[in-house]
Structure 1
Amino acid sequence: MSDKTHQLKAFERLLVIMDELREQCPWDKKQTIQTLRNLTIEEVYELGDAILDNDLEEVKNELGDVLLHIVFYSKIGSEKKAFDIADVCNSICDKLINRHPHIYGNVTVENEADVKRNWELIKLKEGKGKKSVLEGVPKSLPAMVKASRIQDKVAGVGFDWEEPHQVFEKVQEELGELQEEVNQNNQDRIESEFGDVLFSMINYARFLKVDPESALERTNKKFIKRFQYLEQKSKDLNKPLSDMTLGEMDIFWEEAKRLPK
C-alpha cells in the first residue's frame, strides 16, 4: 500500500467515525458551528504550545484534534447543504493554485518577497467588495498577532522599510517619545506611546525573522520555570517568599538561570 493510499484510507476512517458520532452520540449531535468555535480556538492554542515545546508526539495529537474540528464543521455544513469536506478541500486547492502563478502559471518570481507581494495583490483582487488589504486581518486576533499580520500584509504590497537598521532607529525614536511622556506623567499619552513602542518592536522582529508571539511565550515559559525553582527553594528552606529579601531571592534566581534548558 502506497503512502498516499494509506493516508487517504486514514482520512476516510475519520470521516466514517464523524458520521457515526453525529448520528449516535448525544453530545456530538448537539454541536453547531457556534458551539464549536471556542473549542476550536482552544485546540489551536494547544497545538501552538506543543510546537513551542518542540514535542512532536504532542504536535501529532493536537493536529488530530484540529483536523477533527475541520471535519466536524464540514459535516455540519453538509447537513445544511451548504458545503462538505470535498468543497473545503477543493476550495483551498483552487486558492493555492490561483495564488501561486509562479508555479501554476507564467509569472516569474526571484525571491520570497516577490511571492508574498503577489499573494497579497491576488488576495485583494479575489476579495468581494474588499477595498483594503487589511480587511483580511481577523478582528478577534490577539493584539500582538494582529500587529504582525497587519505589518505582513502592508509589506506584501510594498509599504515597508528597506533595511533593519531603519526599523531599529524607529524603535529608539518611539522609546524616546515614550520616555518624554513618562517624564511629564501624561498617562493617556503614555499608553499611546507604549503601544507605538510595541508596534515598532513587533515590526523589528519581522526584520529579524523572529515571531514575536513565540518569542514572548518562550520568555514566559523561561520565567515560570525559574520562578518555580525559586518557590521550591523557598519551600526547602521552610521560608515563605514574602519573608525572603530580594538579595536572597536573587541567589536562587541566578541558580535557576544556570539550569539545563
Structure 2
Amino acid sequence: MNSRANQLKAFDRLLTIMDELRAQCPWDKKQTMETLRHLTIEETYELGDAILDNDLEEVKKELGDVLLHIIFYAKIGSETNDFDIADVCNSICEKLISRHPHIYGDVKVENEEDVKRNWENLKLKEGKKSVLEGVPKSLPALVKANRIQEKVAGVGFDWEAPNQVWEKVEEELAEFKTEVQSGNQDAMESEFGDVMFSMVNYARFLNINPENALERTNKKFSKRFQYLEEKAKAINKPLKDMSLAEMDVFWEEAKSL
C-alpha cells in the first residue's frame, strides 16, 4: 500500500486538477452545488452497488468519483470564501475527536452500544433539539425507517428482546389483514406502512440491514427473470404468449443456477 507521503501527494494532485478544471473546463466552470447534488446522489448509489457486488476494483473507482464531488463542493465553497477543503477536513476531525471521548478523553465504554449511546447524547449536548435531526428528509423511506430506529435506540428508546419485536410484527400484520378485508385503501396503506416499519425494526434486532437485504432480493429476482427472458427468446416464444406453467419451468431452472 502507499505510504502516507504518497497518499498526501495523490490528494494534492487531485486538488491541483480540480483547480485546473474549474478554471479551464467549460462544463466544470458552470457547475454549482445545486447542479452537482443529483450527480452526487447518483455516484453514491453506484458506490453502494459496487459494495453489494463485492467488486473491489469498482469500489475503488466509485470512491474516486465520490471524493471528486467532495473536492468540487469544497472548491466552490472556497470561491465564496465560505470554506475550503482544509475547513472540511478540520471540521470532521474536530467532530470525531469530540464524539469519541473514550478515545480522546477519560470516558469509559464497555462495548459498541455504549459508544452509540454516547454519540447520540453528545449530539444533543451540542445543541440538537432532537435525535432525529440527523436523519436526512430526502432519504429513501426504507433507509430512513432504519436510521430513525437506530437513532432512537441510541438514547434507550427500544425493545428489550427480538421476540417482543416479532410480536409487534404479528400485531401489525393482523391489523393490516383487517383493513384489507374492510377495503379501505387509505387504511390499508397506513397499516402496510406499519408492517414494513416493524419488519425493519425486527431486521435491526437480527443485525440485518433491510436495504441490503431487499436489494439482494431485487438482484436475485432480476437475474432469474432475465434467464427466463433468454430461454423464451431461445425457443422463439414471447413471454406474453407463454403460460405461467411454461414460465415456471424456466424460473425453477434459474433458481438452481
TM-score range, shorter chain: over 0.9
* Counterpart residue number, 2:169: 171
Name the CA distance, whole Å, in 2 between partners of 1:226 and 1:42.
Answer: 26
* Counterpart residue number, 1:238: 236
Name the CA distance, whole Å, in 2 between partners of 1:152 and 1:12.
Answer: 37
Name the CA distance, whole Å, in 2 between partners of 1:231 and 1:34.
Answer: 40
* Counterpart residue number, 1:42: 42
Alignment of 1:90-101 (within 5 A): 90-101=90-101
The residue identity in structure 2 corresponding to 1:145 is: V
Q: CA deviation at 1:251?
A: 0.9
* Counterpart residue number, 2:57: 57
Structure 1: which 5+ residue stretches go unaligned? Answer: none
Alignment of 1:11-50 (within 5 A): 11-50=11-50
Q: CA deviation at 1:2?
A: 6.6
- Indicate which of 204, 207, 210 corresponds to 2:205: 207
CA-to-aligned-CA distance 1:30-81 (integer Å, 9 cap, x gap): 1111111011001001001101111000000000000000000001111110
Q: So what's the TM-score if we normalise by structure 1?
A: 0.97
The residue identity in structure 1 corresponding to 2:234 is: D
Root mean square deviation of aligned Cα: 1.1
Name the CA distance, whole Å, in 2 between partners of 1:38 and 1:148.
Answer: 23
Name the CA distance, whole Å, in 2 between partners of 1:204 and 1:111.
Answer: 21
* Counterpart residue number, 1:158: 156
Name the CA distance, whole Å, in 2 between partners of 1:103 and 1:216.
Answer: 36
* Counterpart residue number, 1:258: 256
Aligned-pair identity in percent equals 78
The residue identity in structure 2 corresponding to 1:117 is: R
Mean Cα displacement is larger for which, 239-248 or 1-10?
Answer: 1-10
The residue identity in structure 2 corresponding to 1:177 is: E
- Structure 1 consecutive aligned stretches of length 4 or more whose deviation exceeds 4 Å: none
Q: CA deviation at 1:187?
A: 1.4
The residue identity in structure 2 corresponding to 1:171 is: V
The residue identity in structure 1 corresponding to 2:189 is: E
The residue identity in structure 2 corresponding to 1:143 is: A
Name the CA distance, whole Å, in 1 between partners of 2:193 and 2:2.
Answer: 53
Q: CA deviation at 1:131?
A: 1.6
Are 2:198 and 1:197 equivalent residues in the alignment? no
Give the count of matched residue pairs.
257
CA-to-aligned-CA distance 1:84-114 (integer Å, 9 cap, x gap): 1000000000000100111111111111111
SS in 2 for 1:159: coil
Name the CA distance, whole Å, in 2 between partners of 1:132 and 1:23.
Answer: 42
Name the CA distance, whole Å, in 2 between partners of 1:116 and 1:201.
Answer: 22
Name the CA distance, whole Å, in 1 between partners of 2:2 and 2:52.
Answer: 32
Structure 2: which 5+ residue stretches go unaligned? Answer: none
SS in 2 for 1:42: helix
SS in 2 for 1:162: coil
